[in-house]
Amino acid sequence: MFDDADDIHPLFAGAPSTTEFKKLRKRIVRQTREAIEQYGMVDPSAHDKDGKQPRWLVCLSGGKDSYTLLAILYELKWRGLLPVDLLACNLDQGQPGFPATVLPEFLDRTGVPHRIEYQDTYSVVMDKVPQGRTYCALCSRLRRGNLYRIAREEGCSAVVLGHHRDDILETFFMNLFHGGRLATMPPKLVNEEGDLFVFRPLAHVAEADCERFAKAMQYPIIPCDLCGSQDGLQRQQVKQILDQWEKNSPGRRQVMFRALTNARPSHLLDPKLFDFVNLSLNLDKKPENSKEIPLLR
């Protein structure tokens, strides 16, 4: 339906008609829908007392991932597969040189309901973070707090982020190498206050596909000039390791991601997840294929 010029959302105006792009788009849509269904992001019976659909705050940074997220969610909604209202939101954090007009103009042009919020968290980060330290942790905390506030003000039940499969893998290895724990970004969680969901519908989508999609659609990409400008970040180092593994063994990223969905607590070492202490033998149970040992006469 989206290939009909008379029946297309403005987010897809000018979409390439090549077979390669159609396959890419179909793959991203399918993987996003799978994640939404697999992790129960939509409750068909979830309507408020006025009968309104749930509302999601879709966080738009201006990067390739958030543009892809917004477009794919609108495609699912356009197809009647996503019964939620979408509100795009950009948090202008006061970074010097940030092109503040790009996103509002883009969202106005495409007819996407949105809210642009200005909060100078940049000055706070620069003031609080010592010279030579990375900005990511504090910047992320301040940004997330503001997004939660906006979601509450707008009556949204969920904050929706554009993290993809590679972000999830990189976070897993950062926790493994530097945090001493097996953990990553879950596709669905509840915030600490317990009043908002956090969703990552692109959890199954490869970063390379997001990049190809946004480039083909010629979305106006805005680079991050704060954390994205720092060299030697742990995430960059992990990305380089994963890139090398992928180069040596194509498809390894997907195999590792699949492993995150196939955890076996009994084969790890965490006694909080598996009761090793009370694990016992069942000597009365005979192996299924065993033969009776003949009695001696």
Measured CA to CA, the distance from residue 268 to residue 270 in angstroms comes to 6
Residue 205 lies in a domain: yes
Residue 260 lies in a domain: yes
And the tokens for 295? Answer: 């009695």
Q: How many CB atoms lie within 10 A of CB 144?
A: 16
Residues whose CB falls within 8 Å of the CB of residue 197, separated by 6 or more in sequence, listed in order: 41, 157, 158, 159, 188, 189, 190, 191
Q: What is the pLDDT of residue 71?
A: 96
Residue pair 82/43 in contact (Cβ under 8 Å)? The answer is no
Q: What is the pLDDT of residue 292?
A: 62
Could you give the number of structural domains in the chain? 1
Residue 56 lies in a domain: yes
Report residue 133's pLDDT band, with 50, 70 and 90 as the boundaries: low
Tell me which H or E stretch contains 35.
helix 19-38
Grouping H, G, I as helix, E, B as strand and the rest as coil, residue 83 is: coil
Q: What is the pLDDT of residue 185?
A: 95
Average pLDDT over residues 231-254: 89
Residue 276 lies in a domain: no
Residue 289 lies in a domain: no
Rounded to the nearest 5°, which phi and psi values hold at 217? -85, -10
Q: How many CB atoms lie within 10 A of CB 178?
A: 11
* Between residues 8 and 276, the one the model is more confident about: 276
Closest CA to 185 of 196, 195, 174: 174
State pLDDT tens for residues 98-120: 888 999 999 999 999 999 999 87
Longest dimension (CA), the chain: 95
Q: If you search the block for the tokens 């955890």, which residue do you land on?
A: 263
Measured CA to CA, the distance from residue 249 to residue 234 in angstroms comes to 23
Lowest mean pLDDT among 19-28, 117-126, 258-267: 117-126
Grouping H, G, I as helix, E, B as strand and the rest as coil, residue 188 is: strand
Residue 178 lies in a domain: yes
Measured CA to CA, the distance from residue 52 to residue 50 in angstroms comes to 6
Q: What is the pLDDT of residue 13?
A: 82
Residue 235 lies in a domain: yes
User: HSE-up of 189 (CA within 13 Å, CB side)?
Assistant: 10
Q: What is the pLDDT of residue 6?
A: 45
Measured CA to CA, the distance from residue 42 to residue 82 in angstroms comes to 8
Total residue length of the chain: 297
Measured CA to CA, the distance from residue 262 to residue 92 in angstroms comes to 39
Which residues constitute the domain of residue 259? 10-267
Residue 103 lies in a domain: yes
Tell me which H or E stretch contains 59.
strand 55-59
Grouping H, G, I as helix, E, B as strand and the rest as coil, residue 24 is: helix
Query: pTM of whole model > 0.75?
Result: yes
CATH number, domain of 63, equals: 3.40.50.620
Grouping H, G, I as helix, E, B as strand and the rest as coil, residue 145 is: helix
State pLDDT tens for residues 32-87: 999 999 999 998 776 655 678 999 999 999 999 999 999 999 999 998 999 999 99
Residue pair 198/159 in contact (Cβ under 8 Å)? The answer is yes
Measured CA to CA, the distance from residue 246 to residue 221 in angstroms comes to 26
Q: What is the pLDDT of residue 240?
A: 94
Of the chain, the end-to-end C-alpha distance in Å amounts to 80
